[in-house]
Amino acid sequence: MVKNPNSNSMSKAESNRKYWKTFNGKLMMTYNNMSRRVRGYVKPHLYNGLEICDRKQFYKWSSTNESFIHLYKEWVNSDYNRSFSPSIDRIDSSIGYTLNNIQWITHSDNSRKGSNSRWS
């Protein structure tokens, strides 16, 4: 079956992009990115083998975390400006993604923090 290019239905890619902007989609994308890092798929010299919290614990913690809720609303209100996107930060970069070592900050602040720590 060939899809009509003039159809008003959303493509799978468009649907995925829309989902990643939802509250649950943002949490899923963030956890997947954390998981890929500690399994060595992304910058293994920095993340491979670090501890990661359980997915359900992360979702529960995040969905009740005032910082995440506030940042998520600000990101939506900014029309999904990447600078305002909620981003998970490891407080101590030598420790993994454990609930006592992570916090929600903006993508912009997290990028700036990473840039500054490279030169410390």
pLDDT 10s digits, 94-114:
999 999 999 999 999 999 987
* CA distance linking residue 39 with residue 20, whole number of Å: 22
The pLDDT of residue 118 is: 45
3-class SS of residue 1: coil
Stretch 42-57: mean pLDDT, rounded?
94
Length of the chain: 120
Stretch 63-74: mean pLDDT, rounded?
98
User: Is residue 120 predicted with pLDDT exceeding 80?
Assistant: no
Residue pLDDT, tens place only, 4-43:
555 556 798 898 889 999 999 999 999 999 999 999 999 9
